[in-house]
Structure formats: C-alpha cells, structure tokens
Structure 1
Amino acid sequence: MRARVRERVPVVVQTRGVRSTPARVLWVGAEAVVTCGVVLMLLVVHQLWWTNQQARADAGAQVRVLEREFRSGGEGEFPAAVEPESGTAPSPSSPSNPSPSADPTASSRASGSAGRPATPAYAIIRIPRIGLTAPIARGVGKRSVLDRGYVGQYPNTAAPGRTGNFALAGHRNTHGEPFRYINRLGKGDRIQVQTRDATYEYVVDRVLAQTSPRDTGVIQPVPRSLVKPSYGYSQPDAYLTLTTCTPEFSSAYRLVVWAKRV
C-alpha cells in the first residue's frame, strides 16, 4: 500500500491592528501631547482674544452710559474722597507712611463671593495719540475694575483736575488692555479726563520706562520714584499718573507716564 502523504495547511496569524507594548505606549503618549496642545491653545485664545472682546464691550457700553449721563446732568460726579474697596491691599499712596511692600499696580481682591461686583465708573479718559477711550472707576480691584477693561484710580489719590496726583492703573495685556500702548506716549501728548462737571486736559511731561512694582513713590501727591530718584517732581501741581506692567505679557516691572494739567 502506498503511504498516504499528509499535506499540512499553513496557518496564517493576522496581526493587523495589534501593536506591541512600546508602540502602544508611544501612541497613547502622542495622543496626550496633542490633547494638551489643543487645551493650551484654547486657553491662549481665551486669554488673549476672548477676554479682550468681553472687556472692550463692557468698557465701551460704560463709556456710552457716562456720555449720556454727562449730557443729561445725571450722576457721575467725583466724590470728596476715594476709599479702598473692601478686601483691598493697603493703599500705596499714603504720603505719611508709604508701605514699602505695597505694589502700586497690584490687583486687589474684589468684595463679594460670586460674580463681579458692580463698580460704577465716574469719568472717561481719552488719549488721542493711542486711540484710547475708556471709563475710569474707583479702585484698582482686578475683578471689579481692571478685568472689565476699565482704568482704575488708586484709592486716596487726588480727584481729576485737582492739585495732587490723580493716579491710574490699567492692564497692558488681556482684559481690554487699555494701557497697551502708553509706552508710545511722549512729551507733549494730550490726555483728556471728562467728568460730569468738567473736562480736564493734561499734557505728558515725563516717562519712567521701568521701575519696581513696589515703587510707591510714583503715585505720591508729589510723585518721585523711590527706586530712581532722578525721575519725578519736587513741587506740588496737578499731576496725572498712568501705570501699567512692563515688559508686555509680564508683571516684572512697572511703566509710569506722568502728565500735568494744562
């Protein structure tokens, strides 16, 4: 008898779609990196674009409200004194005992636990040189004033147009960034501050390009830098001080612009 020859059928193992352990780890890691990148991109878009849109809309609406009030003779006058908000840091503008640790442009905590408390603006600042029109509110609280695109007045500084130092702070980047381009201001540039009772005009006189955040001297009634004493004044006058962070997208230093009332 002839021996039967058994034919072996080759077995083919399908391996498509099956990855080795190192390959799967790399794939998961790549997905995680892409996801993080997308999240970070969305955060950047929100911070640099969306906060500006919201704050500018809020500030623009407040400017229109003030303009209507001024025309009709409604509220909006400046009170006898500007008091700090509840929960704010100590005022850096006390002439008798300036706090060496106070940041003259630091954002203070706003009162209230939910939402942004209303902080009515009382004046409008206009700087034609940089195309700025913005409302001025009392205090420098971050949530209640600065993050809304407003310019904030330091507590206990002079009223607009009065002898002393009318000192203001504003964001340079994000949240409306009203002071984004005050570094472009130079001697002779005009600044207008409109209240219900009058419009005051100031002329830029000096610029301090960089100083410490703790340089409280720049917002004193007679402003003079404590860090760079050659910058500032020695005689009383009606001063306007603009302060913001520098360099851009950093809070390491402060940029200061001084103007005098015409």
Structure 2
Amino acid sequence: MSGEGGSPWFRAEPVPEQPPEPHDRYAPYEPQEWYDPEGYRRDWYGQQPQPSYVPGPGPVPQGGYVPAPEPYAPAQEPYVPAQEPRAAYVPPPAPVPDEETVALPTEETREAASTVPEQSTGGRAERRRAAKGRGRRRAAPATAAPPTRPAGTPMSRAEARRAARSQKDSPAVIASRVFGELFITIGVLMLLFVTYQLWWTNILAGQQANAATNKIQDDWAKGRAPGAFEPGQGFAIMHIPKLDVVVPIAEGIDKHQVLDRGMVGHYAEGALKTAMPSDKQGNFAVAGHRNTHGEPFRYINRLTPGDPIVVETRDAYYTYEMASILPQTAPSNVGVIGPVPPGSGFTEPGRYITLTTCTPEFTSTYRMIVWGKMVDERPRSKGKPDALVG
C-alpha cells in the first residue's frame, strides 16, 4: 500500500524528522513511545501535526504562578524549540527575623531565625532536601573554647617564657613609673622642707632663745661682771611691747651662732662695729630674722613714731622711741648703721638705735631699716621703766 491510506511500514515518501520537544525538568516522568505517534496518526487517520507553541517572552514573577500563554496560533516558521523552560511556582522566601531589631529575643525567635531555609535554585532533589530540613532545628556553630590546663599540670618551657614576657612591663611604663615616683619623692621632700622652715625652725629657735634669756638672767643674778663679750654670747634683752617681743641680744651677727638661734645680733665686728647702749654717743645697731628661726623682727614694719623699744642690760634699762623707717634698701647700704644714719632724720650725733631685717617676707633681696632715739636711761635699782610696767 502507498499514499495517505498506506501502511506505515511501506511508506514510499520519507517522513520529515521533527525536532524533539524540549525537556521540562519539573514535569513528572512519562515513558517515551518507541514509535512516531505523529506519523502514525497522519498515515492512518489523515491528521495534520499540531502547530508548535512558543511561550511568550517575559520573566516569571517570583512568588506566583506563570501566566497562561496566548491562544495557540499555527506556526508559520519551522519548529523552533523554546530557549528557556517554563518555570514552576516558586514560593516567596520566608521573612528572616533580624535579631538586631528584636528588643528581647526569645527562644522561639532564635529558633525561627535558625530554621529559615535558603532559597533553592537547584533541581527536585535539592527542593526535597530543603523541605525535609525545614522541620529540623539547625545546630548553632560551636565556638572553639580555649584549651584549659588541668590544675597542677606544669607549663612547658615555651609557655613559661610567654607567661613571663606577658607579666613584664614595657619600657615606657617603667620609665613613666620611675618619673612619677621621682616627682612624688621630690614633692614630699619639698613639703617637708617648707614645714621645717616655717614651723619647726621657729619652735627650735624659740627654745634656744628662751634658754639664752634664762642664762643671761642667771648671770645677772649671780653678779658676774660683763667684761668683753665673746661672739655668740648673750649680754642684753630687747623688749618691744607693741609687738609682744622679748628676745636676747648676742654679740655678732653670725647666722648660725646667733640669728638662726632666734636671737638678735649686735653689729660689733670690723667696719660694721657700732656703739653699745651704755656709750654716751653712737648708734646701737642690731639685726634679726623677719621670717623663720624665731622671726623676732617679722612685724617691725608695724611700728610707728613714738613706740618704745627697751634694751635691758645688767645695770640699766635703755628706752628708745621709734623715729623713722626705711621700707627697702640694698644690702650693701651700710650707711644705715652709721653714727648719724642718712635718711633717718637725725642731723647730729646722739644715742640712737637701728633695727635691720630682710624684706620682702620670705626673701633676703632687700633690707628694711627702723631707727629710734634714746629717751631714757634707768638704772635697774630704780625698777622697770614705764614702757614695761603698763
């Protein structure tokens, strides 16, 4: 047989080969026929092959179904296989809870965050594995804990060296520590020195001055003749009633033997030698500390003209009245202790007294000078002068 109604085993004209349909990897498995069904239907039943269909272009929306294709139209061109297989339904990804936005995360929120599967882009086997793993709890990654050493286990030599190096301080830390301790030590020493100068020297000098006053009074009570006074030997007592000062007067102005011991020193050496109170004419000049070491002349700047200054000796009381003051002068100005001191207001020789001390306070840059003039000489047998009785 031949022609349209002939047997398919004895066809005279060759059957045109049809390109195979594209394989849909998401479609269920169907067994393939071993013969050509299209040719069979055309040969036996005179049916024409179905037109080919080309899916319309356009992306498949994620999270929904693929839209239905346009109505079929007969293919005008030879069969063209689809370039891309039709995508099946892809479920939208589940929302992943953000632990940073959860104020107080609970066990449920952590479990939900750990069980969210990743979007699968593979085949059917991968989707099955992902679906099976959704109900399981994902194990948290274990963080490696530092190895702990059992108690009593000795360290190796390398570990011991590392531990010793970790305990050592860097050179910068050691240097800063040394400088800090040095500054603290210097500060403490300076504080102790200031305390010694401003407080302890006054206490020590007061004790020494009181001892010298008692010795002078004991010598007077025993009737010893004064004779020539040696350097550092006390021979008189000065009273300044306005300042409540009672201080012994020693021979010389040596700093360590006289002034630092809380006493007042008499200028009696070389070119600086001055008269004694008992002399009929001259200037009796003395020096004393204004600060520290008893500071007997600290407030002599408060004296005003007419204030009494009394010098007590073995035989008499000599009373002077303050006359003038020179607030500041150079230490080299030795004319202030001359017989007639310039700037004192005295114009002729007489019986004067001069008090000298350092200024400003707590320095020795300049000298302050106070002058006085004798107004009374009273023997001890007549008692104390009026300036000491009131």
Q: TM-score, normalised by structure 2?
A: 0.51
Partner Cα distance (1:129, 1:161) in 2: 24
Secondary structure at the aligned position of 1:143 is classed as coil
CA separation of 1:128/1:8 partners in 2, compared to 1, >3 Å: closer, same or farther?
same
Higher helix share: 2
CA separation of 1:245/1:78 partners in 2, compared to 1, >3 Å: closer, same or farther?
farther
Which amino acid counterpart does residue 194 of structure 1 have in structure 2?
E
* Greater C-alpha Rg: 2
Which amino acid counterpart does residue 299 of structure 2 have in structure 1?
Y
Q: Does 1:136 align with 2:249?
A: yes
Contact 2:265-2:286 within 8 A present in 1 as well: yes
Secondary structure at the aligned position of 2:254 is classed as coil
Partner Cα distance (2:320, 2:147) in 1: 91
Contact 1:78-1:122 within 8 A present in 2 as well: no
User: Which whole-Å deviations, capped at 9, do the CAs of 1:145-192 have from their partners, x for residues lacking one?
Assistant: 111111000012111143210000011111111111111111111111
User: Which whole-Å deviations, capped at 9, do the CAs of 1:26-51 have from their partners, x for residues lacking one?
Assistant: 22211111111111111111222222
Partner Cα distance (1:132, 1:16) in 2: 67
Give the deviation of 1:17 after TM superposition. 5.3
Contact 1:187-1:205 within 8 A present in 2 as well: yes
Partner Cα distance (1:120, 1:134) in 2: 13
Contact 1:51-1:174 within 8 A present in 2 as well: yes
| Matching residue within 149, 156, 168 for 2:262 | 149
Partner of 2:197: 47
Give the deviation of 1:123 after TM superposition. 0.4
CA separation of 1:11/1:146 partners in 2, compared to 1, >3 Å: closer, same or farther?
farther
Partner of 2:351: 238
Partner of 2:146: 10
Give the paired residue count.
Answer: 214
Partner of 2:236: 123
Q: Does 1:190 align with 2:308?
A: yes
Partner of 2:329: 211
- Over 4 Å off, 4+ runs: 11-18
- Gaps of at least 5 residues in structure 1 are 1-6, 86-118, 225-229
Give the deviation of 1:52 after TM superposition. 1.4
Give the deviation of 1:144 after TM superposition. 1.3
CA separation of 1:259/1:161 partners in 2, compared to 1, >3 Å: closer, same or farther?
farther
Give the deviation of 1:70 after TM superposition. 2.5
CA separation of 1:236/1:78 partners in 2, compared to 1, >3 Å: closer, same or farther?
farther
Partner of 2:371: 258
Mapping for residues 78-117 of structure 1, pairs under 5 Å: 79=228
Partner Cα distance (1:196, 1:19) in 2: 73
Contact 1:78-1:195 within 8 A present in 2 as well: no
- Select between 170-179 and 248-257 the one with higher mean Cα deviation: 170-179
Partner Cα distance (1:254, 1:183) in 2: 12
Higher-RCO chain (CA-CA 8 Å, sequence separation at least 6): 1
Give the deviation of 1:236 after TM superposition. 0.7
Secondary structure at the aligned position of 1:199 is classed as strand
- Gaps of at least 5 residues in structure 2 are 1-142, 149-161, 376-390
Which amino acid counterpart does residue 191 of structure 1 have in structure 2?
I
CA separation of 1:203/1:11 partners in 2, compared to 1, >3 Å: closer, same or farther?
farther
Give the deviation of 1:143 after TM superposition. 1.2
Give the deviation of 1:18 after TM superposition. 4.2
Give the deviation of 1:69 after TM superposition. 2.6
Contact 2:284-2:354 within 8 A present in 1 as well: yes
Partner of 2:319: 201
Partner of 2:223: 73
Between the aligned residues of both structures, percent identity stands at 47
Secondary structure at the aligned position of 1:191 is classed as strand
Secondary structure at the aligned position of 1:214 is classed as coil
Partner Cα distance (1:130, 1:78) in 2: 31
